[in-house]
Amino acid sequence: MNEAHGADEPPIPHDVVPRLTEVAARLAADHADPQPTSVAAVTTTRAKASEVVMGYRSRPLPRELGAEPVYVIAMSGRFESLRGGPPSTRFPPTGPYLTVVVEAATLELRLAGVGDRDPHARLSRLGPVTRLAW
């Protein structure tokens, strides 16, 4: 089931939604939860995704990189980071939320983060949200 909230038509093109759902399913499984409880996506720019959803407010991205169209996918579940944890821990960091940014043109992963802060509310600040499910 895929549905858009906040608009008559999904902001993500209908032909992209199935491929984006496949990407989300693969990334969820890669992060140890193949069946997240909720998955939502929104289209935006890389600069806005970095600031609004990921919380990065350091130096601005170069103009062409910041303007790159991306999809932000937010998931709820039980996830593990692929990066591992600090040397003082034996296990990778875990959290109830996985947020990923994928390039709109190629659907390639650009950024991923596991954390404790719910990213879903911030998605709506970027535009209409499309719910994804498998």
pLDDT digits (tens, 9 = 90+) for 4-34: 554 434 489 999 999 999 999 999 999 999 9
Element (H, E) at 123: helix 120-123
Decide if 3 contacts 130 (C-beta within 8 A). Answer: yes
Decide if 74 contacts 123 (C-beta within 8 A). Answer: yes
In the chain, the number of structural domains is 1
Q: What is the pLDDT of residue 3?
A: 52
Mind giving me the DSSP string for 53-99? IS---SSPPPHHHHT-EEEEEEEEEEEE-SS---TT-SS--EEEEEE
Length of the chain: 134
Q: Which of 37, 34, 53 is nearest to 111 (CA)?
A: 53
* pLDDT tens across the length of the chain (134 residues): 555 554 434 489 999 999 999 999 999 999 999 999 999 999 999 888 888 876 665 555 566 666 889 999 999 999 998 876 555 556 678 999 999 999 999 999 998 999 999 998 889 888 899 999 99
Range of the domain at 106: 3-131
Q: What is the pLDDT of residue 32?
A: 95
